[in-house]
Amino acid sequence: MAHLICRCGNDMWNGKSPNDIEFWVYSDKTMDSLSFEDSIPFLSLCNKDDYNVWRCPECGRLYVFDEKGCVKSKYVYKPEE
Ligand SMILES: [Zn+2]
């Protein structure tokens, strides 16, 4: 569980599960490496996330982290409109 203060000032928290803050992004290469014949696909994905993304519900900014538990985001995207 962590907090992240968005540049707009909104305090985001991922402590509630499920939540609308945190997203997991998988590359096509990672998805191809998984067997979809697995009876529990979610377990196959648990340690395969390539990027962890937080989305601010107030301004829509995306904070992209490339390592689990990484404190500093690698990229920050702000919607143009
Ligand atoms: Zn924000």
Whole-number Å distance, alpha carbon 59 to ligand 1 midpoint, is 4
pLDDT digits (tens, 9 = 90+) for 52-67: 899 999 999 999 987 6
Task: Pull the structure tokens for residue 62.
Answer: 């995306």
Could you give the 3-state DSSP secondary structure of residue 62? strand
Task: Give the residue extent of every domain in the chain.
Answer: 3-77
Whole-number Å distance, alpha carbon 72 to ligand 1 midpoint, is 16
Whole-number Å distance, alpha carbon 37 to ligand 1 midpoint, is 39
pLDDT digits (tens, 9 = 90+) for 27-51: 888 777 766 655 555 555 656 667 8
Whole-number Å distance, alpha carbon 34 to ligand 1 midpoint, is 34
CA dihedral angle for residue 16, residue 23, residue 50, residue 5, rounded to 10 degrees:
-70
